[in-house]
Structure 1
Amino acid sequence: MDDSPDSLPLSATGITGFDDILGGGLPPNRLYLIEGNPGSGKTTLALQYLFEGVRKKEPCLYVTLSETKAELAAVARSHGWSLAGIEIVELVASEAELEPDNQHTMFQPADVELGQTTKAVLAEVERVKPRRVVIDSLSELRLLAQSSLRYRRQILALKQFFIGRSCTVLLLDDNTSAASDLQLHSIAHGVVSLEHLSPQYGAERRRLRVTKLRGQKFRGGFHDFNIATGGLDVFPRLVAAEHVEGREQRLLTGGVPEFDRLLGGGFDYGTSALLVGPAGAGKSSVAINYARAAAAKGERAALFAFDERAEVLLRRAAGLGMDLAPHIKDRTLTLQQVDPAELSPGEFAATVRRAVDGADGHAPAKVIVIDSLNGYLHAMPEEDFLTVQMHELLTYLGHKGVVTFLVLAQHGMIGSMQTPVDTTYLADTVVLFRYFEAAGEVRQAVSVVKKRSGTHERTIRELKLDGGIRVGEPLKAFRGVLTGTPTYDGGSETLMGPANV
């Protein structure tokens, strides 16, 4: 019988995101190493793998050298699972070994115990004849072996034993040895590393990486994951090049003709727009207006609010004449409040992807609003990679024909302002918002400084938010509006009356 990976179907793990990373699953009848510190999720992953085998009516065996069956049952219950269908073999120390009379022997205890442990494992495999096997954990075998040579020989012996027995084996290792055991990496057909990170503030972060998988293409790099009720939820690293699709050429208009004219007609589907300026200048209001306009046409818009509470956002939008409640009720607009301290970048990208694919129980989203990038930046444990991850996300959304609005608040109000991260080169369209002083009042201005997908106005227009979004005539009587301290060169006939109150 040919048991090569090319001739047999892959052994699915039952974890959708993990199978996606692996290219469909694990090549069957091979031995794999799952390593990670205690608490990183190895046992949960292994149980999910066996439950998938039970679902496919495959015999499954869990050999535990450290935890009791009761402890495994408690883990399963926490996820709403039952161990029915999985053969559990406990090879932990018995109560008899605690008796003083059993602590003295003429033989090296490790020599006896290692042989007995290995023999017991092999005997259970012969009895159950499983298709899927988990051995938890290798740290016990390592301690019993006492030397790296003896330990390697034991693992090689186990590997030889399982060859030809149609078993796919997961070896769990909790990394409690003083140094990384690369010898074991060379023996295993594949290696998966799980990491448990603790940032200085916020929720714990978990990520995994497939460091080796012989004979099969997989998605490399780190992938974020969570452990929730129901098991591991893995978020594969987004690779935009895998999602290239054709898209139609059309514009998204927002119902404010003057603003649309600034943009040369509107925002092109399949492009991204960066709305940048100081706090309170109107960036979020403009983004929400275009999301509402899409929802009014029956297209779903998804808003992700990092900085503002949902009820405040809805109340502020209603004050500008944009009642979002009907659209939320008919599910053409979804609003999700995001807590940066509780979210990993990989999870956020997966959440956006599910909205665009319609995998979150709603229609596929055609407009995405991220408000704001400042909040997203604070969600990043490694800020150096923000622009790289954002580039992949924007490229993916572009391939899907989505209009993406990114709100970015600058530090400062008037004059020289600093941007926390430069993403202007990533966006297809850049809309600049500014405060300026005129006629003894603080006013707002808007201009389009970049649009890759077509022509746009080069003018600077006044922006007013007073019961709605209004855009005035070009500010031809002023110079230096973008600096916040303009020079007056003419009359005030181009201004739109009193400033916002």
Structure 2
Amino acid sequence: MSKPALPRDDDEPEHLLQIGVPGFDDVLGGGLTAHRLYLLEGAPGAGKTTVAMQFLLQGAKCGEKVLYVTLSESTRELRGTARSHGWDLSGIEVREMLPAADALEPDEQSTLFHPSEVELGETTLKILADVDLLKPTRVVFDSLSELRLLAGGSLRYRRQILALKQFFAGRQCTVLLLDDMTAVQHDLQVHSIAHGVIRLEQLNSDYGSSRRRLIVTKYRGKEYRGGYHDYKIGRGGLEVFPRLVAAEHTPPLTQTRIPSGLHALDDLLGGGVEKGTSTLFVGAPGTGKSSVAVQFAVAAAQRGECAALFIFDESANTLRTRCEGMGMDLSPYLEAGTIKLRQVDPAELSPGEFVHSIRCAVTEHNAKVVVIDSLNGYLNAMPDERFLIVQLHELLTYLGQCGVATLLIGAQHGLIGMQMQTPVDASYLADSVVLLRYFEDGGEVRQAISVLKKRGGAHERTIRAFSMSSNGIHVGAPLRNFRGILTGVPVPIDVVQVSS
């Protein structure tokens, strides 16, 4: 009688382990497949040890036995790192595999055998013994550089990693190997062996804080979120900001108009701006672009909806003071939470964190109006200008699918004339474009507003007078007595008729 076949590892249902880092599981498609070996690599200072601690703390939180094997840092150093984040490592077993203090004594130096033949074997035996004794379900090796040096050669090093992989696979253990990438030549031996490979990167710009990002370069049998994802390290550990993919968010949407509260402005816009669309206010500095956008936010707050303002170019106090001077007091709405105001520092905030902040405003606070002031500041927040439009397209598509009215501010270079330029050409991305311009009239600088584009429906083709005072924003009658207003130096119609 034949014996029943033993269940293969392939037949076992895959169980995903949460890694314990906010946003990381989303990048990994839900987490790490249990009972596999993973490689986490990155230059010193990228945050590998912090991720490893969060991975083990998450396991300890779930009642698992976890083990931290350190070949480079002492237990005292690890506990110091944990205290800086406010963590307690009492639930983590730490094993030091550091050379003894007397290893430098001449009598301790071996002359008959190469160090790799002695130290590697001793280190491996100690690790395996601890695993058999503790029976952990999560193990971290920090770091592979020491094992690589002890192995002495590429072949011996690969065999050692393969042996460790087989050893842990038979003990239902998930292993995270850390590599600081200090080898002269980047060795891909572990890449081919590991079930998944994650790389942490730290970018140092010419000005501002360091930018950190990660990428999953390999994950067998699992669909994950590819590309680079920004992350930051603060007290409490890493926080990952997954790259936004607008195609993942496609809820049904019925477009409705959002009025501004100013009848003349709404008439110019054909009734207001539509939910799920983006509107670009473009013009020279001081023409009133930000004020008009804030007017929409105040109108939304008065209806009981939430609006979120992300400002790059001026401080929150300056904005509040300026709006109060025009009769738009933001304080009641800020206190009630119907207007969320965040001042963005381009030198400190990564693009991924900025997008994450907008997503939180939409998902957590149900913001219906989002103001980005300005695209010029958004451009400065990008480490590489080439990808600004791509990220902006994903962001606007996502907000549109969430039914959010997005208001963008674009400041032009120059004040008056036809040669004014916009550093970020997002006019083709926006559903509507509103132009605010200066023009000269009788020795006085006046302002005009017009709608150049609107995908959501019909709009006025007129150019209207525009002004701001202590009584608020005023949109006047169409300027039909002038020709050439967009040039900045218009000519009255009666003068044109006389000259002709």
**TM-score, scaled to structure 1:** 0.96
SS at match of 1:270: coil
Moved more, 156-165 or 401-410: 156-165
Equivalent residues in 2 for 1:37-436, closer than 5 Å:
37-358=43-364, 363-415=365-417, 416-436=419-439
Q: CA deviation at 1:5?
A: 8.7
- Cα distance in 2, alignment partners of residues 238 and 218 from structure 1: 13
Q: CA deviation at 1:195?
A: 0.2
- Cα distance in 1, alignment partners of residues 487 and 36 from structure 2: 65
SS at match of 1:208: strand
Residue 473 of structure 1 aligns with which residue? 477
Q: CA deviation at 1:2?
A: 5.4
SS at match of 2:368: strand
- Cα distance in 2, alignment partners of residues 294 and 4 from structure 1: 55
> Paired residue for 1:482, among 483, 486, 492?
486
Contact 1:5 1:27 in 2 (8 A): no
Q: 1:447 to 1:222 in 2, by over 3 A?
A: same
**AA partner of residue 278 (structure 1):** A
SS at match of 1:16: coil
Contact 2:22 2:238 in 1 (8 A): no
SS at match of 1:181: coil
Residue 4 of structure 2 aligns with which residue? none
- Cα distance in 1, alignment partners of residues 103 and 188 from structure 2: 33
Matched residue count: 488
What 5-or-longer segments of structure 2 have no aligned partner? Answer: 1-6, 496-500
SS at match of 2:17: coil
Paired-residue identity, %: 61
Contact 1:5 1:28 in 2 (8 A): no
Equivalent residues in 2 for 1:15-30, closer than 5 Å:
15-30=21-36
Moved more, 124-133 or 5-14: 5-14
- Cα distance in 2, alignment partners of residues 103 and 460 from structure 1: 88
Residue 447 (structure 2) pairs with residue 441 (structure 1): no
- Cα distance in 2, alignment partners of residues 303 and 418 from structure 1: 25
- Cα distance in 1, alignment partners of residues 229 and 255 from structure 2: 34
Per-residue CA distance 1:447-486 (angstroms, 9 max, x = gap): 0001111111111111010121111111111121112121
- Cα distance in 2, alignment partners of residues 456 and 149 from structure 1: 72
Per-residue CA distance 1:331-376 (angstroms, 9 max, x = gap): 1111111111000000000000001001xxxx31111111111111
- Cα distance in 2, alignment partners of residues 5 and 376 from structure 1: 49
**AA partner of residue 400 (structure 2):** G
Q: CA deviation at 1:171?
A: 0.4
Contact 1:343 1:379 in 2 (8 A): yes
Contact 1:314 1:324 in 2 (8 A): yes
Q: CA deviation at 1:313?
A: 0.4
SS at match of 1:404: strand
- Cα distance in 1, alignment partners of residues 194 and 487 from structure 2: 62
- Cα distance in 1, alignment partners of residues 486 and 241 from structure 2: 41
Moved more, 422-431 or 472-481: 472-481
SS at match of 1:223: strand
**AA partner of residue 481 (structure 2):** A
Root mean square deviation of aligned Cα: 1.3
What 5-or-longer segments of structure 1 have no aligned partner? Answer: 492-501
**AA partner of residue 59 (structure 2):** G
Residue 467 (structure 2) pairs with residue 461 (structure 1): no
Q: CA deviation at 1:14?
A: 1.2
SS at match of 1:435: strand
Q: CA deviation at 1:247?
A: 2.1
**AA partner of residue 150 (structure 2):** L
Q: CA deviation at 1:121?
A: 1.1
Q: CA deviation at 1:162?
A: 1.1
Q: 1:252 to 1:70 in 2, by over 3 A?
A: same
SS at match of 2:494: coil
**TM-score, scaled to structure 2:** 0.96
Contact 2:68 2:95 in 1 (8 A): yes
Residue 499 of structure 1 aligns with which residue? none
**AA partner of residue 277 (structure 1):** G
Contact 2:229 2:243 in 1 (8 A): yes
**AA partner of residue 371 (structure 2):** V
Contact 1:276 1:432 in 2 (8 A): yes
Contact 1:447 1:458 in 2 (8 A): yes
SS at match of 1:377: helix
